[in-house]
Amino acid sequence: MPATSELRVEVTVVGGGPAGLSSALTAAHAGLRVALVDAGSRLGGQFWRHPDPQSLAPGQAESDGQHSWRVFERMRAQLRGFIATGRVLHLAGHTAWSIERGESASVVRLTRSWDAVQLIAGSVRSEHVILCPGGYDRQLPVPGWTVPGVMAAGGVQALVKNGGRLDGRRAVVTGTGPFLLPVAAALTRAGATVVAVCEANPPSAWLTGTGSVLRMPSKIAEALEFGLVLGRHRIPYRTRTAVTRIHGTDHVEGVTLSRVRADGGIVPSAGARSHLEVDLVALGWGFTPDLGLAVAAGAEVRRDVDGSLVAVVDDDYRSSVAGLSIAGEATGVGGAMMAVHEGELAASAVASETGVGVGPARAARLRRAIARERAFARAMHGASALPAGWTAWLDPDTVVCRCEEVSAGDIRNACGDLGADDARTVKALTRAGMGWCQGRVCGFATCEVTASCAARSSTADDLRAMSKRVLASPVRLGDLAASDDTQGPR
């Protein structure tokens, strides 16, 4: 794509994960011309991230370690057909960094996800935009979490799915939720020894959601599969336990485990069992959607049951902004298959404005599936609560914002001495959330630490302040100046 060109299509889909794939495919089936913008180089998003075929070792398959891979292969094959005929333009390695809505069209501006020469890469103009940006690991800071060798749990999964090997490493996986299990399995597959999986909640937390769990037999089968991996490799699964301190300076040397009480408080335990020698720590406290573009576009947002900020959408996945639909993780974290179903409904609603959607019978089936998946997600969030009072683990010098190196003490000073009582003010006073990642990593935690100073819970307003970014992705100023793409939407 030439540097400053503007493409015109009927629908722009942002994100090539489960939701974006099914959105693009459904829109193309309905006869619409689609631009599929994806920051990654290969389709699949986070769930179906897979190695480049060139990097496969003998005997290794593209699908190793994947679930529902056949669903992906079918969608990818159909999409490739549409790409070949030109109905779908797949803009791989392109990141949407701004979205501007006019009366009848939106302009989505793009930058190359990586490039030595020039980052600005034109824009796409379309009547409809469907945002399927997914999310990333939600993080809670832990003393020592900036030491090399500590990674986000999803990041470990991504490294392994990209073909990375971790032979000889000793790992601990810690946090909350069922995602800790596939991460332990992935580590094992990549050659690491998993010393323990630590789940902060008691197993009984699932009891209240039994009904919705039983209606999702595929999830039970998955859990059993991972349980078998743990059993085969003798990996201890410790409940009511969390890593509350990571030791080491230029690399991880070990961790301190603590017992998590029923009320969420932490009992630092004494003795050998509370220390593990490891050189890799995977931290997973659930996922949180990437709402940068949605917030920038002015879409209404709310706090979901898991505490994360999500986009508000109607039954057809339309946001509060005309011409802007949102599907997948961004409307609430709930897994890949739900994202696929939401993407199809979102695109179907867009297509029915000008032609035909998927039809009432299919739509009803999708809605029933989503209702089941949503109920399961609620049970999962209920069973995967963050330990109450986790902010008390932090030392004053524990870094909360990794980019700007803002500590818990800095945030508490801003609240105590300088009188800040909301995340927006803390951000302005401390620069937390103003660095390279624009608050993606520390946003949630900064809101929680701020709220804990005021002895309250963090609010949607706190979270929105941390999601509001001037640019959804850094762009070089020189490139911006050189770009002659000055036309706004009409």
Partner 1 sequence: MSAEVVIVVDGAPVIARAGTSVAVALTETGRLAWRTTRFGGAPRGLFCGIGVCYDCLVEIDGAPAQRACIVPVADGMKVNTRAGHE
Interacting residue ranges for ligand FAD, rule: CB under 6 A? 14-20, 37-40, 45-47, 95-96, 132-137, 154-155, 157-158, 182, 287, 290, 293, 328-329, 335-336, 339, 472
What is the smallest separation between the CB atom of 2 and partner 1, expressed in angstroms?
19
The Cα–Cα gap between 174 and 247 comes to 15
φ, ψ dihedrals at 129, nearest 5°: -125, 130
The Cα–Cα gap between 443 and 140 comes to 10
Looking at this protein, which amino acid is placed at residue 377? A
Q: Which of residues 166-205 bind partner 1 (CB under 8 A)?
A: 166
Minimum CB distance to ligand FAD smaller for 7 or for 406: 7
Q: Give the count of beta carbons closer than 10 Å to the beta carbon of residue 395.
A: 12
Please choose which of ligand FAD, partner 1, none residue 472 contacts, taking the beta carbon within 5 to 8 angstroms, the exact cut-off set by kind.
ligand FAD
Please choose which of ligand FAD, partner 1, none residue 12 contacts, taking the beta carbon within 5 to 8 angstroms, the exact cut-off set by kind.
none
Q: Which residue is nearest to ligand FAD (CB)?
A: 134
Sequence-distant (6+) residues with CB within 8 A of 301 are: 291, 294, 295, 309, 310, 311, 312, 460, 463, 464, 467
What is the smallest separation between the CB atom of 38 and ligand FAD, expressed in angstroms?
5
Q: State yes or no: residue 90 binds partner 1 (CB under 8 A).
A: no
- The closest of 333, 309, 308, 287 to 152, measured between CA atoms, is 287
Q: Give the count of beta carbons closer than 10 Å to the beta carbon of residue 270.
A: 8
Please choose which of partner 1, ligand FAD, none residue 402 contacts, taking the beta carbon within 5 to 8 angstroms, the exact cut-off set by kind.
partner 1
Contacts made by residues 83-87, CB under 8 angstroms, sequence distance 24+: 87/28, 87/32, 87/33, 87/34
Distances (CA, A) of 64 to 61, 161, 162, 186, 367: 5, 8, 11, 10, 31
Check if the beta carbon of residue 199 is closer than 8 Å to that of residue 180: yes
- Binder among 103, 217, 250, 360 for partner 1 (CB under 8 A): 250
Please choose which of partner 1, ligand FAD, none residue 335 contacts, taking the beta carbon within 5 to 8 angstroms, the exact cut-off set by kind.
ligand FAD
Buried b (16+ CB within 10 A) or exposed e, 192-229: bbbbbbbbbbeeebbeebeebbeebeebeebeeebeeb
Please choose which of ligand FAD, partner 1, none residue 462 contacts, taking the beta carbon within 5 to 8 angstroms, the exact cut-off set by kind.
none
Minimum CB distance to ligand FAD smaller for 159 or for 429: 159
Q: State yes or no: residue 477 binds partner 1 (CB under 8 A).
A: no
- Binder among 441, 445, 451, 475 for partner 1 (CB under 8 A): 441
What is the smallest separation between the CB atom of 294 and ligand FAD, expressed in angstroms?
10
Q: State yes or no: residue 400 binds partner 1 (CB under 8 A).
A: no
Minimum CB distance to ligand FAD smaller for 185 or for 453: 185
The Cα–Cα gap between 230 and 62 comes to 23
Sequence-distant (6+) residues with CB within 8 A of 195 are: 170, 171, 172, 235, 236, 276, 277, 278
- Binder among 52, 225, 315, 353 for partner 1 (CB under 8 A): 52
E strands in 313-367: 324-326
Q: State yes or no: residue 429 binds partner 1 (CB under 8 A).
A: no
What is the smallest separation between the CB atom of 475 and partner 1, expressed in angstroms?
12
- Looking at the DSSP bridge assignments, the partners of residue 6 are 123
Please choose which of partner 1, ligand FAD, none residue 387 contacts, taking the beta carbon within 5 to 8 angstroms, the exact cut-off set by kind.
none
Please choose which of partner 1, ligand FAD, none residue 202 contacts, taking the beta carbon within 5 to 8 angstroms, the exact cut-off set by kind.
none
Please choose which of ligand FAD, partner 1, none residue 209 contacts, taking the beta carbon within 5 to 8 angstroms, the exact cut-off set by kind.
none
What is the smallest separation between the CB atom of 46 and ligand FAD, expressed in angstroms?
3
Q: State yes or no: residue 164 binds partner 1 (CB under 8 A).
A: yes
Q: State yes or no: residue 440 binds partner 1 (CB under 8 A).
A: yes
The Cα–Cα gap between 122 and 485 comes to 7
Using the contact rule CB under 8 A, the part of the chain among 112-120, 124-132, 364-372, 447-455 near partner 1 is 112-120
The Cα–Cα gap between 286 and 408 comes to 21
Q: State yes or no: residue 46 binds partner 1 (CB under 8 A).
A: yes
Please choose which of ligand FAD, partner 1, none residue 52 contacts, taking the beta carbon within 5 to 8 angstroms, the exact cut-off set by kind.
partner 1
- Binder among 63, 104, 146, 487 for partner 1 (CB under 8 A): 146
Distance of CA 74 to the CA centre of its chain: 24
Q: State yes or no: residue 155 binds partner 1 (CB under 8 A).
A: yes
Tokens at residue 235, please? 């990996």
Give the residues lining the site for partner 1 (CB under 8 A).
39-41, 46, 51-58, 113-117, 136-137, 146-152, 154-159, 162-166, 250-251, 290, 402-405, 435-437, 440-441, 474
